Structure 1
Amino acid sequence: MSKYCNNASPLTSRISGKHNTTWKRLIRVRAQAQPHIRWVVGQGKIFFWDDIWLGKSALRDLALNDRGCPNALVGDFIWEGTWDKPKIWLLHARAGLPQRATEQILDTPIVDGGPDIPWWNLSRFGDFSLATTWETIRTQRPIIRGLDDIWKACLTTSISIFIWRLLSNRIPVDTKLQWRKMELASKCEYCPHRPGSNQCMERIRSLVRRIFPPLQINDTIPDRLGV
């Protein structure tokens, strides 16, 4: 606390030059992790203003002024296993804490003698997992209707991939390759932009007629090979 937080809450600490690499990484991911951590009050060793133990947000966001010690603990407002009502109601007057929030604090149960229990809000059972964390930070592309059915139609993997590529316009047909400015060595040089044209065939026929005379009825194979 004295080295990295300067006796302040680690949830409000800022990065400085004296911090090591590990602490800097923790500070960078704090904004993604902190909103999903909930606490069940036990001994009260969690931060009163910055930890989320009441509702869905920290008390610092609800109060007008967090007077007093900024790194106060929840245990500072507990007396003999119950809430210290005079101190709680004093927050309503001095810190501008809404009356509804004050009443919710007094109604919050305390695990007497037990530790404070962290709860990962994204998990069903409150346990932290990388899978639920990844879902919150990854960038998702828009869902295309119909593509999801391809993988559920009892098709083979190769057929599913082919249909996916077909619907996504990813099949490398000649038109697609030409659109991507790719030279096709197998295409005729006379009509690269008119694949349906008959101009090529007419040129090929005229070239063949000049080299090979037309076939006659009485022509034999040896006669044709000797031409």
Structure 2
Amino acid sequence: MTSHVWSILNSRKSLWVKWIHAHKLKGRRNFWDVSLKAGSTWGWRKLLQLREVIRPHIKYLIGDGCTTSAWFNNWTSIGPLCKYITYRDITRAGLCLDATVNDVLANGRWKWPVAWFDLLPVLINVTPPVLRPSVSDVITWYDNNGKDSGFFAYSTWETIQFRKPVVPWVDIVWFAHSIPRHSFHVWLIMREKLKTQDKMKQWDVSGSTNFNLLCCSLCKRGPNSHQHLFFECNVSLQIWSLVRPLMGFHAVPNRWSDITSTLLWTSKPNLAKTIIAKLLIAASAYYLWQEQNSRLFSPKKDRLLNCVMLLCLLSG
């Protein structure tokens, strides 16, 4: 989506960009103050909603000042001037909303009223640029460190993506030798996002369903949950008892939190034994979830022990 905005701003030679300028912008130089109308298409609405995310990273380097909007483009050290100067102030001063940087300069000085500096002291920091008649204005992309990184898919994504702190269990889920579908399943377990019966109970707003009748399809002893399935259920405990010796986890309890804590504090995460342990835990949890779903929704049952025995043989 950002690349589409970049094409619009740079007037890339394409039929779509020409159509946008003709029918959406309707000849206007400025993309940043286009209003979002109720009947806008999904794509155009998303492009306009993206503006506030990418605007701080798109900066204009002034050459002749003939293509950069004086009010709406990000070319000053304080950002777009429209954040400080209202439309009414601009028109009252006899200036045009479509004015370029070149239009508001005369002999190296600003054309706007001197009174603005008293009303808006922040304008004192805006130094008049030195115009170069033979050089065109240039649009650049700045990363989070304020560096001109150029507009590329990778650098752009690294700049605008939403980031959270790295979770401590990341190496338990994602590692070089992991099986993707097993790792994804472990990731769901770590975030408690599997559709277990205790989660489903929270969804029933009307209360028309009697969730007290639900029970674990493996042990038939009450509703299942993440804690129950991995590995506190009687059936899953049997699986854990088979797998645990292969990993050297003889003293580790059958609770998921204890298992992951043991892996988390392993001093040598790249050791072959540790990698095998992570593979076995991920595979056991994956097939355990598959088996409980199979017992709920299909006639095929009792495949779990066969899968686990196969895992034991392979790891042995």
Q: Which residue of 1 aligns with 2:15?
A: none
> Does structure 2 retain, via aligned residues, the 8 Å contact 1:40–1:118?
yes
Question: Which deviates the most, 50-59 or 89-98?
Answer: 89-98
- What is the alpha-carbon distance in structure 1 between the residues aligned to residue 32 and residue 115 of structure 2? 25
Alignment of 1:23-172 (within 5 A): 23-44=44-65, 45-63=67-85, 65-67=89-91, 68-79=95-106, 83=108, 85=109, 88=110, 90-93=112-115, 98-102=120-124, 104-106=126-128, 108-122=129-143, 124-135=147-158, 138-140=161-163, 142-148=165-171, 156-157=177-178, 161=183, 168=190
- What is the alpha-carbon distance in structure 1 between the residues aligned to residue 33 and residue 73 of structure 2? 10
- What is the alpha-carbon distance in structure 1 between the residues aligned to residue 24 and residue 169 of structure 2? 52
Of structures 1 and 2, the larger Rg is shown by 1
Structure 1 residue identity aligned to 2:150:
D
Displacement, 1:57? 1.7
> Does structure 2 retain, via aligned residues, the 8 Å contact 1:37–1:119?
yes
Displacement, 1:195? 4.2
Higher relative contact order (CA 8 A, sep 6+): 1
SS of equivalent residue, structure 2 residue 126: helix
- What is the alpha-carbon distance in structure 2 between the residues aligned to residue 98 and residue 149 of structure 1? 54
Structure 2 residue identity aligned to 1:37:
I
Q: Which residue of 1 aligns with 2:34?
A: 13
- What is the alpha-carbon distance in structure 1 between the residues aligned to residue 82 and residue 143 of structure 2? 22
> Does structure 1 retain, via aligned residues, the 8 Å contact 2:58–2:139?
yes
Q: Deviations over 1:163-215 (max 9, x none)?
A: x66x9388x9xxxx89884312xx5x7xx47949xxxxxxxxxxxxxxxxxxx
CA distance 1:150–1:168, shift in 2 (3 Å): closer
Structure with more helix by fraction: 2
- What is the alpha-carbon distance in structure 1 between the residues aligned to residue 140 and residue 69 of structure 2? 15
CA distance 1:66–1:142, shift in 2 (3 Å): same
CA distance 1:3–1:95, shift in 2 (3 Å): farther
Q: Which residue of 2 aligns with 1:224?
A: none
- What is the alpha-carbon distance in structure 2 between the residues aligned to residue 76 and residue 28 of structure 1? 29
Displacement, 1:116? 0.5
- What is the alpha-carbon distance in structure 2 between the residues aligned to residue 16 and residue 74 of structure 1? 28
Displacement, 1:37? 0.7
Structure 1 residue identity aligned to 2:60:
W
Displacement, 1:132? 3.6
- What is the alpha-carbon distance in structure 2 between the residues aligned to residue 94 and residue 115 of structure 1? 29
TM (norm. structure 1) is 0.55
Q: Deviations over 1:1-30 (max 9, x none)?
A: 675346653321224489777655533332
Structure 1 residue identity aligned to 2:140:
W
Q: Which residue of 1 aligns with 2:24?
A: 4
TM (norm. structure 2) is 0.42
> Does structure 2 retain, via aligned residues, the 8 Å contact 1:37–1:120?
yes
Structure 2 residue identity aligned to 1:48:
A
Q: Which residue of 2 aligns with 1:199?
A: none
The percentage of aligned residue pairs carrying the same residue is 18
Q: Which residue of 1 aligns with 2:247?
A: none
CA distance 1:135–1:92, shift in 2 (3 Å): farther
Question: RMSD of the TM alignment (CA)?
Answer: 4.6
> Does structure 1 retain, via aligned residues, the 8 Å contact 2:54–2:160?
no
SS of equivalent residue, structure 2 residue 68: coil
Structure 2 residue identity aligned to 1:113:
S
- What is the alpha-carbon distance in structure 1 between the residues aligned to residue 85 and residue 124 of structure 2? 10
Tell me the number of residue pairs that the alignment of Structure 1 and Structure 2 aligns.
179
